[in-house]
Structure 1
């Protein structure tokens, strides 16, 4: 029992560290986005995250674990990861950090809504109600039809949708595909794709910005290690609530750097979205048969 408690405490610490790394990485991306194209940000984000992939591989059996069984699946996951990060980084060019994170928190709602279609699993009435309530929270944040609405606020929804497909693919092929290769595909393929675009979009970094690019990728790689380690040790229902600490860090960085402060609609919508996501997680936990094992969870490559 004591060991389980220590594992849970360590898991909570590592998942919180991973979420902090993600939120800080996104703040760095928002700042660098004032000077460089998004494609270049994604390229360096993945380039400097490569060491983390090798660390994960070596900790789970060696580099050979990175070789995929289904190349098409990993390519698809790479494209989805590229979309998830790209949508989010584009959104950060015009949106406050906290608002973008709040909308992207709709990812778990999309996972639940898409589960019957893509996995053939039944979703109960209470979870469907939670999904609808959660998307009501998204509408509160988006404020469609108002004078503050701009189409760019839809970009984090693209991130959430891409992330939901990544999670569902991980669940679908969890038994036949190695976890390390599944994570690696979300870094390697976006790196290759954006690498081809570099000659067209390249803006030579100022000397002062090179450390920022390195930090961007290092934070992304650190998040991968922290989150993978956390969810490998402790079940998702214990850790998932701490994913939402990203909202704390995004509000903090937004205020410190850009003096952005969420408006009342964002606070209310965030509360509704987070509450709906946590209730869905609770329902997924209580409906599992005893001994079925942990709920599959994949952390975001963004992440959100």
Structure 2
């Protein structure tokens, strides 16, 4: 019987995170060319075209009402999460955007308390303080070296809004996983986003030229491939072992930001990222039997 190499889940997680960071770089270029809305909608539509045949080929059937409700809710949340994040990428360097988005797991701790009734540990509160401090370091460093502009403030606001929705997305994924398989989740994730964003297409859609169209197509393919790689990896290794690799996204983002847009990574961005990652690490390592507040 063939057995997978024990390091394969780690390599695939690293590759999956890298593919998502490369997708962000392609989407930044596409968003600058045709706008965040057009880039986001076309990516969702192409993603649906790629994954729906797979789901149907696996015998996919229309979901029952509880699962459908979650599909609709997560698709809506994800649509605006992606739209606001891609808009933020047009205003901020990729590495800074990725670094600040790392606060989403910490926000998710509090949303889990509100939406799922989970109790917040003392460690989680300390982790949240570190994450918030890291965010302030990154933003403060940016304000210290650049003149604050309305465009920058809009980018930061969109990024924080996206992080909030990303945190809610964590909760919805946890609920979805109990009711539907990965192929169904991926199909409705792209499908609901495509339909919802498509409502504004008659007024807002800008058709891309060849280069931007190739970037959007590559983004859709990278999104599907990354989802498959991460799903395979997380099915074969413990989440606590793989989650730290997710933070390699900052390194990938710094690399692709420099290669595509010549974006420099600053010391405050690195320092703030370290604080946020430490906070996420503390929250993830907190024992379940620890006293709570």
Shorter-chain TM-score category?
Answer: 0.7 to 0.9
Q: Residues 191 and 282 from structure 1, CA distance in 2 versus in 1: closer, same or farther, beyond 3 angstroms? A: same
Which residue of the partner structure matches residue 287 of structure 1?
A: 288
Count matched residues: 282
SS in 1 for 2:248: helix
2:283 and 2:6 mapped to 1: Cα distance?
21
Q: Deviations over 1:185-206 (max 9, x none)?
A: 3211111122222221232322
Which residue of the partner structure matches residue 10 of structure 1?
A: 8
1:24 deviates by: 0.5
Gaps of at least 5 residues in structure 2 are none
2:179 and 2:207 mapped to 1: Cα distance?
42
Which residue of the partner structure matches residue 127 of structure 1?
A: 124
Match of 2:167 among 164, 168, 174: 164
Which residue of the partner structure matches residue 69 of structure 1?
A: 65
TM-score, normalised to structure 2, is 0.87
Which residue of the partner structure matches residue 49 of structure 1?
A: 47
Gaps of at least 5 residues in structure 1 are 290-304
1:76 and 1:129 mapped to 2: Cα distance?
31
Match of 1:210 among 210, 213, 227: 213
Q: Does 1:29 align with 2:27?
A: yes
1:139 and 1:8 mapped to 2: Cα distance?
39
1:28 deviates by: 0.6
1:116 and 1:207 mapped to 2: Cα distance?
46
SS in 1 for 2:34: coil
> Once structures 1 and 2 are overlaid, which stretch shifts more, 39-48 or 149-158?
149-158
> Once structures 1 and 2 are overlaid, which stretch shifts more, 103-112 or 160-169?
160-169
Q: Deviations over 1:195-219 (max 9, x none)?
A: 2222212323223333222112111
Match of 1:102 among 79, 85, 99: 99
Q: Deviations over 1:242-282 (max 9, x none)?
A: 11111111101111222211222111100000111112111
1:22 deviates by: 0.7
Q: Residues 172 and 217 from structure 1, CA distance in 2 versus in 1: closer, same or farther, beyond 3 angstroms? A: closer
CA RMSD of aligned residues (A): 2.5
TM-score, normalised to structure 1, is 0.84
Q: Residues 206 and 237 from structure 1, CA distance in 2 versus in 1: closer, same or farther, beyond 3 angstroms? A: same
1:144 and 1:242 mapped to 2: Cα distance?
26
1:287 and 1:69 mapped to 2: Cα distance?
33
Match of 1:265 among 257, 263, 268: 268
1:56 deviates by: 6.0
